[in-house]
Amino acid sequence: MAPRSAPRSRAVAPGLLVLAALAASLVYLGSLGPAYSVKGAWQGQPSTLKDTVKGDFGSVMEGLEPKVSFPPIAYHREGVALSVEDGRLNADYTAKLDGDTMLQLRVNDEQEWRASLQGEDASLRVRGQGADLDSLSWEAAQSSSVEDVGDVKVEFNSDKEYNLTVVREMLARIAGAELDAKVRATNAGVTGRLGARRELPGGVEASYSVENPVGVYDLASSTHRGRLSADVAGGKAVLQVEGDSSSQAYEGSYARDVQGGRAGVRLSRKDGALGYNVSYARDFDGVLDGDAGVHIGIDEAGVYGKVTASREVGQGLGADYEASARFETGEERRLQLQHALKLSNKLGYAQLAHGSGEAPRLRVGYEFN
């Protein structure tokens, strides 16, 4: 075995030296200014590492080969800029045409260009490829506030698509209820929304809205939404109803702070199915030596829980642990477990994860800049 292992070890050694030299040079460049970002990762079963003991580093080194992303480099002066981003050269020009209108132009080394005029209430964007007029596309928008009408915005483009939107935040006040409205016209038709909201005695807030689908003007097809919310016994209670003439959905929820955590209960009914969720979540930051949290609950599918913990081990090394479990109470009763331990510092990390019905997985990697 030794005669075969030695050449592999010698083949890997130069690669390790290159990685070390690269890391050292990047740390040095980092002290001078923006540097490269370098990262790599490998994932597999721990048994794979047995091959490295025999001198076979191939599968591990392939994943750990550095992937370098280059930093953007730019030069700016009096509205003109040259930059390199993602290996592409860009030239930019910016000018202020009047009090509130800006002109921006960008061209790259592949002759792709885009230009824009941006004003306080209007904009125009154009893009193309060189002098090819067939590749030309544009989009424009203008917005304004019209007295007794509302906020108006019109959008249209070179594909002859358009959107005309009118919003009136305060349409009227009737019997203590505030009405609002929104209308949007498109190539496919018109959609409208009418809403009402009011504060009732006892701090109860009520809201209702009705909205038709685009191009469908049958009231039976419109979506109705109603909501009641109130502060009850130190928590928040909410009741919501949504639907049209063919189907409805109902949901009620209540949540409040309990013993330093958050407890909640939710009941719902949609498409004839009943759903529920009772949960409690709490963070133990500052209570334990490190950060930790727990989340437990029960829903229509079963019982679940999750525990997280993290702390500094020392010498710049941090440890993170996460475990989750779910017991399904349906016809196929089964227990699912997942847990993972991760050790990391500013240069790299190692993570061991394991779950029910699967082999342990080891993931190692590094990332620095």
- Average pLDDT value over all residues in the chain: 86
Range in 47-56, 101-110, 311-320 with the lowest mean pLDDT: 47-56
- Output the pLDDT for position 325: 97
Contact 344, 23 (CB under 8 A): no
Query: Which of left, alpha, beta for 158 (phi over 0: left; psi -120 to 50: alpha)?
Result: alpha
pLDDT (tens digit per residue) in 295-307:
999 999 999 999 9
Number of separate helices (H) and strands (E) present in the chain: 3, 25
Provide the pLDDT for residue 62.
67
Q: Output the six-digit token pair for 147.
A: 């007295």
DSSP state of 212: P
Lowest mean pLDDT among 16-30, 97-111, 267-281, 340-354: 16-30
Placement of tokens 């200014």 in the chain: 33
The pLDDT of residue 17 is 42
Scan for tokens 């949540």, then name that residue: 255
In DSSP notation, 252-265 reads: EEEEEEETTEEEEE
The per-residue DSSP string of 52-105 comes to: HHTT--HHHHHHHS-EEEPPPEEEEETTEEEEEETTEEEEEEEEE-SSS-EEEE
pTM of the prediction?
Answer: 0.72
- Which residue has 């013993």 as its token pair? 259
Amino acid (one-letter) located at 268: S
Residue 332's pLDDT is 82
Any idea which of 65-79, 194-208, 297-311, 342-356 has the lowest mean pLDDT? Answer: 65-79
- Residue identified by tokens 């930051």 is 285
pLDDT tens digits for range 223-242: 999 999 999 999 999 999 99
Question: What is d(CA 226, CA 248) in angstroms, rounded to the nearest whole number?
Answer: 11
- State how far the Cα of 277 lies from the Cα of 232, in Å rounded to an integer: 19
Does 245 have pLDDT greater than 50? Answer: yes
